Structure 1
Amino acid sequence: MTATASSPTPAAEAQPANSRSRVILASLVGTTIEFYDFYAYATAAVLVFPILFFPTGDDTTALLASFAVFGAAMVARPIGAIVFGHFGDKYGRKATLVASLLTMGIATFLIGLLPTYDQIGWWAALLLLVLRLAQGFALGGEWSGAALVATENAPKGQRAWYGTFPQLGAPLGFIIANGVFLAINLLSPSREWFFEWGWRVPFLFSAVMVIVGLWVRLRLVESATFTKAARQGAIRKLPLGTVFRHNWRELVLGTFFMLATYVLFYLMTNFTLSYGTKAADLETASATAAAAAEASGKPFDATAFAAQFYPGLGFTYTDFVTMQIFGVVFFGIFTMLSGPIADRIGRRRLLIWVTSLIIAFGLSFNYFLMPQLDPKFTGALTMAFLVFGFTLMGATFGPMGALLPELFPTNVRYTGSAIAYNVASILGAAVAPLIAVALWAAADGEPWPVGVYLSVMGVLTLVALIISKETKDVDYDEAGLGADTQLAEAEAEVSSL
């Protein structure tokens, strides 16, 4: 079964039907909203959810439970990649992108309305898990569709540059989500009000952003690349089967391309927020925990607390998030700079250099993140760490918007790039916060094992890049299997049932 499409005029074939501004806005605005929703949960997973949804009586256990639900969304992302990829490769990119945005927006809005553990017990955690899975499912289809809208409408020789616009949604979404949380935290009349109502505002606010994103995306028209593939009879009935049969090597390589990127990003956001705001000494941490227990009317066991205590940098939430936001500015800048560089020297060459630097960066964690005798030095080294880390994040994340889609022909491009991107989220992101916290605790508060973990993941990515081929000059209009091959394989599929 092939998708139908009207034959475009010669003028339509000569240039993309979507204007440059429409392509940039549709790919940028949508991913900004999607990542805003995702990061709103990530921030709450550290600040709010361990207290309101996982009150286990042990800070470490509560934080790990919150991170486990955070990571569960990564498991849902490949499922979303398969479902949205199927419809995106079979019926087009536009409707699929609208559906993914709606799914993410509704799930995020409902998180803002959830009752807490004190109100309905463990049902609260279960509902949070369901909505978190819905977020992951939606994000599984969002990124690839946005990357395809950008790159399939890009002028010749500028695919990596256009591919950075959906990537830019990640730093923008982070800044907006954390900026909203920061503003609410500063404006909250009391700690009790923040935990009662304030934390809900960023989730409810997402509804406004979704309306804007839908307005932009509904104005898109389908790319000439996809309509050409449809006209040639290359659209497959089961894109998933095609990509596993004919492009399994590209799936494996694409997954490992993204591995170090994912680990780096979630260490720079989730882990550093936990480590940076954890008290630097037991006395301060114990006093803070005792005061919190007294305010909530719960008993406090100082001996048990000391047994599970591991130190951090001792920054306040406000100070550390402000530092993170400053670092993420470099994330955005180098995301944009990486595109033209990748168009000029190639994606592979650029990423080999950047991944090598990520490996070296992972071995420097103790130098940057161990508390110093002078708090000024601690602040300066931590700020340098965030700037370096987010700079590398931008340089490695930016080219992925072109690199992963370039691995696959048009008729399985959505499915293939989405699966590679999101399977990497399980290997690199779902487990990263859990592994980082476990390594941090096992090393009695020293961060060096976390850095070694990043370096090992970087080595795996580097090997994948070294054995791969450059994709800068691939024919992006290559549709995939033609109608004759498609019919033969369909008959083979039927006969094998």
Structure 2
Amino acid sequence: MTSSTAVSNPATQRRVAFATIIGTTIEWYDFFIYAMGAGLVFAHLFFKPAGEEIGLLLSLATVGVSFLFRPLGAFLAGHFGDVIGRRTILVITLILMGVATTLIGILPTFAQIGIAAPILLLLLRILQGVSAGGEWGGAVLMVVEHAPADRRGRAGAMPQIGVPLGFLLASGVMALMTGIVSPGKAFLEWGWRVPFLLSIVLIVVGYLVRRSVEESPVFTEIAERGQKTKAPVLVLFKRHWHLVILAALVFVGNNTVGYMTTGGFLHSYSTGKLKMDTTAVLVASTVAAAVWFVATLIAGRLADSIGRRNTFLIGFAVQALMAFPLFWLVNTATLPGLYAALILLSVGLGLTYGPLAAWYAEIFPVSVRFSGVAITYAIGSILGGAFAPTIAQALLEATGTTYAVSWYLLVATLVGAAATLCLRDRPGIPLGPDHEAEQASGATMFAPNVSHREVAGKQ
């Protein structure tokens, strides 16, 4: 078996895709259920002494703080993923996320234990950040490295759809709880805890599914040859730092806009400022997540037919066109306006998220691929989504209008589009260890693109 043909049979590819979807859905359910709790109840339960407005800012800030620890998770997972394998890291990150989420569900509030409550909440959110930092890279490489070259785009969309599915599940469960439990006292006392406690059930399912899949054939080949890099993170930043920066900025364009919904800002704005019904807003978010899911799947297919780069540019165009209409529609304080805003935004988000996995995997050489993918994604998350809800809330309070927030989203989108234009599309590039030289060259538009035939001719 050569590295150029090191792909799995169709049955194995389907098992890996299913395991990836299940695992990432559960991971992101845990992550997003926290963001919804931050937008809806944590300000009252954990930061009430700070006052209503400052308490909400602090609550949303805890959503962002976890992103600062994603690089730690990415560094650890990247190192060990390149050294001991993809599958083991996926199981560990899944368990870590589930434990942190479940513990939040039993956490005492400020009224019960004082300042220790928000401190413990923050620590558990940090654990979620570490887990999320390591999760995505492993999931991406497991599915993309199992796939044939002409189907990497749609294969890479599998871990991507876990994000909208996780958001759909989180918003659906939270909507169910606000619908069957009084949104007042009962929900604040115990109703909000149920979605967090459900994580313990989901984590068992995810663990069993992920343990059942085979290791990536690319990593298996590296291990058999004894070609594993001892310090992949150091090599990454020494030789490929420019790729990390550009690819991270691509993700900034998606992540900043995405966290208007998944980060809790639109939930708090719609239910607080606009006085819309909490359950109705959560149901609208659930529908938008379904659209995001479909758009992400379509983007994976488009990435295989028209290229990763072109699909991104179409998505960024949709996002840019929606930057101002998003709030024009939401500010009608009507459900049709909210639905239209969230659905149209979700189309752009799907188109700028679906191709990301395949493109990232094809940018970095195999010896540092896990480290490159995971760390780049984590840095993009910090620069983009980490404090996007907090920044949006601060802009709203400082200006009294959502126009400043729209400008913020437009600038982030243009940054992502500019970075996209700087990277080269490389569909079909061999991913195995025989083609390290080709993988390490020509990923940006500023460097010559060297094919494996040219590399072989020089040897």
Q: Same fold per TM (> 0.5)?
A: yes
1:231 Cα offset (Å): 3.1
Letter of the structure 2 residue corresponding to residue 438 of structure 1: A
Question: Comparing 34-43 with 350-359, which one deviates more in the overlay?
Answer: 350-359
Q: Comparing 356-365 with 396-405, which one deviates more in the overlay?
A: 356-365
C-alpha separation between the residues in 2 aligned to 1:18 and 1:422? 31
In the TM superposition, residue 57 of structure 1 has moved relative to its aligned partner by 4.8
Distance (whole Å) between structure 1 residues aligned to residue 167 and residue 351 of structure 2: 17
Q: Which runs of 5+ in 1 are unaligned?
A: 1-7, 279-311, 483-497
Contact (CA 8 Å) 1:18, 1:220: kept in 2 or not?
Answer: no
Number of the residue aligned with 1:341: 302
In the alignment, which residue of structure 2 is the partner of 1:111? 104
1:143-182 superposed matches below 5 A: 143-182=136-175
For the Cα contact (< 8 Å) 1:259–1:457, is it kept in 2? yes
Contact 2:7 2:217 in 1 (8 A): no
Q: Which amino acid aligns with 1:275?
A: Y
Task: Render the CA deviation track for 1:101-133: whole Å, top value 9, x for unaligned.
Answer: 011011111111111111110101110111000
Partner letter of residue 177 of structure 1? A
Contact 2:7/2:145 (CA < 8 Å) preserved in 1? no
Structure 1 segment 153-232 matched on structure 2, within 5 A = 153-188=146-181, 191-232=184-225
Structure 1's 117 and 337: CA in aligned 2 closer, same or farther, altered over 3 A?
Answer: same
Matches within 5 A, 1:247-286: 247-269=240-262, 270-278=264-272
- 2:279 is aligned to 318
Query: Structure 2: where are the runs of 5+ without partners?
Result: 438-459
Structure 1 residue 64: deviation in Å? 0.6
Q: What residue in structure 2 maps to residue 436 of structure 1? A: 392
Determine if contact 1:16/1:224 at 8 Å carries over to the other structure: no
Match of 2:347 in 1: 391
Please state how far the C-alpha of 1:136 moved relative to its aligned partner: 0.4
Deviations 1:416-441 (A, max 9, x none): 01111011111111120111001111
Matched, 1:472 2:427: yes
Please say if 1:416 is aligned against 2:382.
Answer: no
Runs of 4+ in 1 over 6 A off after TM superposition: none
Q: Return closer, same or farther for 1:186/1:380 CA change in 2, 3 Å cut-off.
A: closer
CA-to-aligned-CA distance 1:195-254 (integer Å, 9 cap, x gap): 121111111110110100010111112121111222344311111011111211211111
Q: Distance in 2 between matches of 1:127 and 1:438?
A: 25
CA contact (8 A) 1:26 1:146 kept: no
SS in 1 for 2:221: helix
- The answer to whether the Cα contact below 8 Å between 1:16 and 1:223 also exists between their aligned partners in 2 is no
Contact 1:268–1:390 (Cα < 8 Å) also in 2: no
Paired AA for residue 419 in structure 1: I
- Distance of 2:411 and 2:128 partners within structure 1: 29
Normalised to the residue count of structure 1, the TM-score between the two structures is: 0.84
Aligned twin of 1:363: 324
Partner of 1:463: 418
The one-letter code of the counterpart of 1:273 is H
2:443 paired residue number? none
Specify the alignment match of 2:406 in structure 1.
451
Kept in 2, the 8 Å contact 1:260–1:461? The answer is yes
Question: CA contact under 8 A between 1:103 and 1:138: conserved in structure 2?
Answer: yes
The CA deviation string for residues 253-295 of structure 1, in whole angstroms up to 9 with x for no partner, is 11011001101110133221111112xxxxxxxxxxxxxxxxx
Tell me whether 1:44 sits opposite 2:5 in the alignment: no
Distance, in Å, in 1 between the alignment partners of 2:422 and 2:362 is 16
Out of 54, 57, 68, the position equivalent to 1:61 is 54
Deviation at 1:401, TM superposition (A): 1.6
In structure 2, the residue matched to 1:102 is: 95
User: Higher Cα Rg: structure 1 or 2?
Assistant: 1
Q: Which amino acid aligns with 2:411?
A: V
Q: TM-score with structure 2 length normalisation?
A: 0.91
How far 1:69 sits from its partner (Å)?
1.1
* Shift of residue 17, structure 1, vs aligned partner: 9.2
8 Å contact kept, 1:109–1:204: yes
Asked if the contact 2:326–2:342 (Cα under 8 Å) also holds between the matched residues in 1, the reply is no
Write out per-residue CA displacement over residues 123-182 of structure 1, whole angstroms, 9 at most, x where no aligned residue: 011101110000000010101111111101112300010011111111111111111111
- Asked whether the 8 Å contact 2:366–2:436 carries over to 1, the reply is no
- Residue 14 of structure 1 deviates from its aligned partner by 6.3
**Identity fraction in percent:** 37
- What is the aligned counterpart of 2:227 among 234, 237, 254? 234
CA distances 1:32-63 after superposition (whole Å, capped 9, x unpaired): 00000001101110111101110125211001
Contact 1:74–1:426 at 8 Å: present in 2 too? yes
Correspondent of 1:89 among 65, 82, 96: 82
Contact 2:137 2:370 in 1 (8 A): yes
